[in-house]
Structure 1
Amino acid sequence: MEGGSDYNTVPQGLIDKTKVLEVKPFRSLYPVLPSSPEGPAFVCAPPYGPFPAGFSPFYPFIAPQNGPDLSQNNHSNQAHTPPASFAAPIRSFRSPEINFSDVSNGDVGSSVWRKKGGRVPNSQGSGSRQKKAKKSSVSDLVASGSKDFAVGISSYERDEGNTEVVNSVLIRFDALRRRLSQIEDAKESPAGIIKRADLKAGNILLTKGVRTNMRKRVGTVPGVEIGDIFFFRMELCVIGLHSQSMAGIDYMISRGDLEEEPVALSIVSSGGYDDDAEDSDILVYTGQGGNANKKDKQSSDQKLERGNLALERSLRRGNEVRVIRGMKDAISPNSKVYVYDGLYRIQESWMEKGKSGCNMFKYKLVRMPGQPGAFSVWKLIQKWKDGLSSRVGLILPDLTSGAESTPVSLVNDVDDEKGPAYFTYFPRVKYTKSFRLTEPSFGCNCRSACLPGNPNCSCMQKNGGDFPYTANGILVSRKPMIYECGPSCPCTSSCKNRVSQTGLRVHLEVFKTKDKGWALRTWDPIRAGTFICEYAGEVVDKVKSRQDGEEGENDDYVFDTTRVYDSFKWNYEPGLIDEDDCNNSTEEYDIPFPLIISSKNGGNVARFMNHSCSPNVFWQPVMFEQNNETFVHIAFFAMRHIPPMTELAYDYGIARSDEGNSDSHRKSKCLCGSPRCRGYFG
């Protein structure tokens, strides 16, 4: 339901409300009493109740019986003013002017009902006022015990999100989606059946209350940053950025002094229509309806209703509209990725003939100034890839010299340094001696591609009978150890159980930072669970590493599995799909021996990943056979969705002390800048 609840919607059928504008109100209205004493008693009820027995409210006096009394509106004495300013349209299909008093450029305010019947005070609009009100309300609501421990999100957090809650909801959504994808991949579905684990995961979370920012609002959404990316429309729904899983226009119904009107909140421009503009800060958006993008239906003229009407009304009001742009995924061309591009205002609107020959509404939206770049960054990166624009500060187009199938550029636009210290590039870990397992391990005997659930595939059985990855190569869950098919296995090289051996698929860049030396970032959007790279270097003996401690005092190019790492939850929750807890494998790693890898003299791009106390990358041990010997590899995966030009970082951990005194080990000052920064690492 577009309005969010049944009492926020207009009854079915078209209502010409403009006719009411010509009616002059009576100076006074006297009740007409029944002429017969035996007639029904005269009923006098306030517009929004309470109503006596046997009396039914009628439009537009529709409200929940348990709703608050509108006569107690504590904002009745406030002056109502229109938006400060907005660009006047050159051409528009405006309706007659109506004076609406409760909609501003912040939250829609007291004219909007919450789903649970509570009111949204105007004083909690956008900006600093909202933050102050939130600060005083969170503790009261949480302390009141309104916490659903089954899902771990308070009732307040469902209405009002923040960065931590948004990230938690997104991680839980994708963890559940990956598990559902794993289950679907193991089934033999009839041809033509489309598997939609994303819709299933979204519906489960919405039903269970694992969501945030349920309260619709104009403007920014708490916890969502400009440039954030999403790979599924349901992700937009569960965090409250765009509540429509299919429709491109999200709106709400606002109650004004005279009537109800729709207010546009957000739009998704995903290429279904001809939405294009040369300027990245301008979007020409096509209205909804008319079946213009549906091949199996006859096209027709679009109508000024629902989302189209909301955009037209927002044009006159000048309120901000959130814009989410959809584009092709560079890594998976058959998929789309959505980027939140910030706030826009509708500057003008008109109607024109589309390719189908039918009339279509067009809206010109202009991005509000002063916002960080988002879509413009994507367009610039595409120019770099197409060779249409040179990369500022480019030192080398490929520092791997062809060792990787995807080039890794070296860039410094900070100072005059020409590059990091010399090292030998090689893409895989090197064992200086044989680290054999105490129990020999053998690969599978599959002659074609390995199949999930195959009892005769030893690699599948080591992984619990399932592929550790989805069909498109996304890691499903963290495990003590992942067993991949290796070069010793007779299965095909295209086997889906060889993800960490495929090399770089993401376009990366080594760049110079202002205060952290060299670092690593991505040109491509990275989906949570995507394999990024392994940690390449030379495996060193732990005893020898201690003996060389003084020499390696300034060596930061070391990966050590014996360090203490902060625990974090990344796997799905079995209770959400009524599975036993035993199906949720532990996230504690099980490495058969202490593994220390040094990349000081040689390694790959992983040596440039910096530490962060709030990382977006995590490591996972992977084992496979090569030359009849089994080796452990350290593979890095995306912890969450990572937007383009975002630095990649993982937790370096804290060194253990055999003497119980951590001060005996060298600690480095942390410069990650995270709100959860512990101040040091190593």
Structure 2
Amino acid sequence: MGKRAPEELKVYKEYISAVRKVEQRLVAEGNTFYRKTDWAILEHYAGRDTLFENKLREARFNALLQKVGIAPVFIENWLPTLYKTDVLGELPSFRFIYKSFMADHFSRKFLALPPGFRTSRCKCKCAEDCSASNLDCCISDVSTDATNVRLTYDASRRLAFPNRIRTTNYELIECSGSCKCGPGCPNRITQRGRQVAVVIFFENTEKNWGLRAGEPIRRGQFITEYVGEVKLASSLKYSNKAYQLQIPRTLEFDDKSESLVIDASGFGNEARFINHSCSPNALLVWVYSDDYGGHYARSCFFATRDIQAGEEIMYNYYSGAELKKKVKSGIKCRCSFKCNIYIPGQTEQRSDTLARASRTKPGGGQQAEIDDQLQSELEQQQRQ
């Protein structure tokens, strides 16, 4: 057997376990189609071309993730072969990455800023692992105002939630390269990447793709980061806003205030498939962990309650004011069969939430992850 055989066997076993958990969850949810699981799986494997493409991409995704110590991601579509078109059967085309990067037009402007502008929000003096009891540690720097709530990790290295989850901007400051602590610091949780297996799963013909837990996730546990190409909002006026997430900070360029956007339409990871829910089980937290001062934050999802293996991971895209019982310009929310809320139309712009109002997502397209491109991206990301 080859040297990689034990690693590949481990990933395969994780895959079998994750898919079985999704199957059990779907049966528990009472979906009549998935009560005929054996038939559904047979139909699934009958679509060999789609199956091959999805599994090929899954292998490429995991080859990259293994290199950086991130848990595997699996792709499953159990839609009957009859409905498997290029749009519905194959995973939408995008380039898989594990961390965000700056677009050229933004990078040039950002790097031209004065050196003192690019500073870390965390400069703790802890010689060893950080602790909130140490007043010199950034973990103790917790503040709350009318618009932002600063969060911290608890002793179990999970997010310490306030008594009540509110519709506001949640922030967390992690240690960075300016700190004296090492990579094992308990205040560097999100920097280690996703540590739970997940399944990119085709939910149905209305919601299309979603993301499900491949193993149990505890309340407060870090799930994944929404990654993509960081761009200036002004450069995206006429682009598809379906996978854009706006960072709640602005920068001053040439005496002009500019907003930043994480665009996952062309480059992204599994987080781009997280669906909306009016009763979510995940919360978006803005994490400051780079030497960019308070001007750039990473968008990370944490579990707001225990999530069972196989359960769909969902996030509330909108503020309370945006969700209405019925609006003329809105569309019917499909987060559950009990939901009677109308959500804003896809053309509406929001300042601090995903601009993915419609459940219709881009589909199909040519395979984007060619072997030499993947290798080039891997080498580039490892150098960063």
1:414 and 1:400 map into 2 onto residues whose CA distance is 22
Q: CA deviation at 1:620?
A: 0.8
Q: CA deviation at 1:398?
A: 4.0
Q: CA deviation at 1:445?
A: 2.6
Partner of 1:602: 267
Q: Deviations over 1:31-59 (max 9, x none)?
A: xxxxxxxxxxxxxxxxxxxxxxxxxxxxx
- Does residue 624 in structure 1 map to residue 315 in structure 2? no
1:473–1:496 CA contact under 8 A, matched in 2: yes
- Does residue 460 in structure 1 map to residue 107 in structure 2? no
Q: Deviations over 1:56-90 (max 9, x none)?
A: xxxxxxxxxxxxxxxxxxxxxxxxxxxxxxxxxxx
- Does residue 510 in structure 1 map to residue 190 in structure 2? no
SS of aligned partner of 1:403: helix
Q: Which amino acid aligns with 1:671?
A: R
1:508/1:399 Cα in 2 relative to 1: closer, same or farther (>3 Å)?
A: farther
Q: 1:675 aligns with which of 338, 361, 384?
A: 338
Partner of 1:427: 98
What aligned pairs does 1:140-539 form with structure 2 within 5 A after superposition?
372=28, 395-396=54-55, 397-398=58-59, 400-404=61-65, 405-415=70-80, 416=84, 417-432=88-103, 433=107, 434=110, 440=119, 441-457=121-137, 459-463=138-142, 468-477=152-161, 480-514=170-204, 515-539=206-230
2:333–2:339 CA contact under 8 A, matched in 1: no
Q: CA deviation at 1:372?
A: 3.4
1:463 and 1:631 map into 2 onto residues whose CA distance is 18
Aligned pair count reads 258
1:488/1:630 Cα in 2 relative to 1: closer, same or farther (>3 Å)?
A: farther
Q: Deviations over 1:523-552 (max 9, x none)?
A: 211111111011101122222222x2xx42
1:422/1:676 Cα in 2 relative to 1: closer, same or farther (>3 Å)?
A: closer
2:223–2:301 CA contact under 8 A, matched in 1: yes
1:406–1:504 CA contact under 8 A, matched in 2: yes
1:398–1:410 CA contact under 8 A, matched in 2: no
Moved more, 668-677 or 447-456: 668-677
Q: Which amino acid aligns with 1:539?
A: V
1:399–1:407 CA contact under 8 A, matched in 2: no
2:117–2:292 CA contact under 8 A, matched in 1: no
2:159 and 2:342 map into 1 onto residues whose CA distance is 31
Q: 2:304 aligns with which of 615, 639, 648?
A: 639
Q: CA deviation at 1:629?
A: 9.1
1:668 and 1:596 map into 2 onto residues whose CA distance is 24
2:140 and 2:98 map into 1 onto residues whose CA distance is 29
Q: Which amino acid aligns with 1:474?
A: R
SS of aligned partner of 2:64: coil
Structure 1, unaligned runs of 5 or more: 1-329, 331-340, 342-370, 375-388, 563-590
* Identity among equivalent pairs (%): 26
Q: Which amino acid aligns with 2:342?
A: G
1:419/1:482 Cα in 2 relative to 1: closer, same or farther (>3 Å)?
A: same
Structure 2, unaligned runs of 5 or more: 1-13, 15-23, 31-40, 46-50, 144-149, 163-168, 252-258, 345-356, 358-384
SS of aligned partner of 2:62: coil
Q: CA deviation at 1:463?
A: 3.0
1:531–1:636 CA contact under 8 A, matched in 2: yes
1:680/1:421 Cα in 2 relative to 1: closer, same or farther (>3 Å)?
A: same
SS of aligned partner of 1:468: strand
What TM-score, normalized to structure 2? 0.58
SS of aligned partner of 2:210: strand
Higher relative contact order (CA 8 A, sep 6+): 2
Q: Deviations over 1:100-149 (max 9, x none)?
A: xxxxxxxxxxxxxxxxxxxxxxxxxxxxxxxxxxxxxxxxxxxxxxxxxx
Larger radius of gyration: 1
Q: CA RMSD in A?
A: 3.7
2:337 and 2:280 map into 1 onto residues whose CA distance is 9
SS of aligned partner of 1:481: strand
1:524/1:532 Cα in 2 relative to 1: closer, same or farther (>3 Å)?
A: same
Q: Which amino acid aligns with 1:511?
A: F
Q: Decide which structure has greater helix share.
A: 2
1:399–1:409 CA contact under 8 A, matched in 2: no
SS of aligned partner of 2:235: helix
1:447/1:524 Cα in 2 relative to 1: closer, same or farther (>3 Å)?
A: same
1:467 and 1:536 map into 2 onto residues whose CA distance is 21
1:656/1:420 Cα in 2 relative to 1: closer, same or farther (>3 Å)?
A: farther
SS of aligned partner of 2:61: coil
SS of aligned partner of 1:402: helix
What TM-score, normalized to structure 1? 0.34
1:420 and 1:372 map into 2 onto residues whose CA distance is 26
1:596/1:617 Cα in 2 relative to 1: closer, same or farther (>3 Å)?
A: same
